Chains A and B, each alone.
Chain A
Amino acid sequence: NAGVTQTPKFRILKIGQSMTLQCTQDMNHNYMYWYRQDPGMGLKLIYYSVGAGITDKGEVPNGYNVSRSTTEDFPLRLELAAPSQTSVYFCAGGTGVSTGELFFGEGSRLTVL
């Protein structure tokens, strides 16, 4: 039972490089989310999606882009990597109900040097 799968698990980028963090889910969740986790800061919402073709900004969207062409996939794009984007990134899926559970992937650790 795969749940939410993220790739890659680890990546080192140079300043100015671009990359895409992949996220796919097999739970048929309409809602998907990208969070970043910084030490001592908890998790901050970057972007979220309420269904295929619909995305919206979260608390910290600058420097990122997303797309949602299918229910299963929700990739996160970094266009011009900066050291401030060094973080652990988590993708999650859920039903969108305020009482519901979010299901998280295992995370992607990104370092920008």
Chain B
Amino acid sequence: GDSVTQMEGPVTLSEEAFLTINCTYTATGYPSLFWYVQYPGEGLQLLLKATKADDKGSNKGFEATYRKETTSFHLEKGSVQVSDSAVYFCALSDRGGGNKLTFGTGTQLKVEL
């Protein structure tokens, strides 16, 4: 079945540092790929997405590129802020209908001054 593997956290960075959170996936067909973010005490919200190979999703300074050849969708940000502290989830949706997402285990990011 489908699966998503994320790098384990927690990740602790200083403000303005470069961020990479690795995500790889296993799926039949051509899934859509997502990054969701969960701020403390809140539900998940969509950060960015890519729906086909070589697409780049971007939002709030975060980027991720759909790499079919390496089955990856790594999240990057050039300069993190304290306000980026959250848990980040990589997810995929197969094209079988219903948009039932398969999530990775989540990576907690803590940004310090």
- Contact assessment for A98 and B99 in the assembled complex, using a CB-CB cutoff below 8 Å: yes
In the assembled complex, the CB of A48 is this many whole angstroms from the nearest CB of chain B, namely 6
Contact with B along A72-108 (1 / 0, CB 8 A): 0000000000000000001010111111111011110
Task: Tell me, yes or no, whether B69 is within 8 Å of chain A by CB.
Answer: no
Counting CB contacts under 8 A, is A50 at the interface?
Answer: yes
B42 contacts A106, C-beta separation under 8 Å: yes
Complex Cα gap A4–B45 (Å): 12
Determine if A95 and B105 form an interchain contact, defined as CB atoms under 8 angstroms apart: no
Complex Cα–Cα for A14 and B10 (A): 32
Chain B, Cβ-Cβ closest to A100? B99
Q: Which residues of B contact A43 (CB under 8 A)?
A: 44, 89, 101, 103
Inter-chain contacts of A90 with B (CB < 8 A): 43-44
Work out how many contacts link A and B, with CB atoms closer than 8 A. Answer: 65
List residues of chain B with CB within 8 A of the CB of A102: 36, 44, 46, 99, 101
Place the interface of chain B in its size category: 20 to 34
On whether the beta carbons of A42 and B49 are closer than 8 Å, the reply is no
Q: Which of chain A's residues have a CB closer than 8 A to the CB of B97?
A: 96, 98
Instruction: Report B34-51 residues with CB < 8 Å from chain A CB.
Output: 36, 41-46, 49, 51
Distance A101 CA – B57 CA, assembled complex (angstroms):
13
Residues of chain A within 8 A (CB-CB) of B68 are: none
B94 at the binding interface (Cβ < 8 Å): yes
Residues of A within 8 A of B45 (CB): 104
Q: Is the CB of A97 within 8 A of B99?
A: yes
When the two chains form their complex, are residues B43 and A105 in contact, meaning their CB atoms are under 8 A apart? yes
CA distance A101 to B33 in the complex (A): 11
Contacting residues, chain B, for A53 (C-beta < 8 A): none
Given A104-B43, A104-B44: A50 and B98 interface contact (C-beta under 8 Å) = yes
Closest 6 CB pairs of A and B: A104-B43, A42-B103, A42-B105, A43-B103, A99-B51, A101-B46
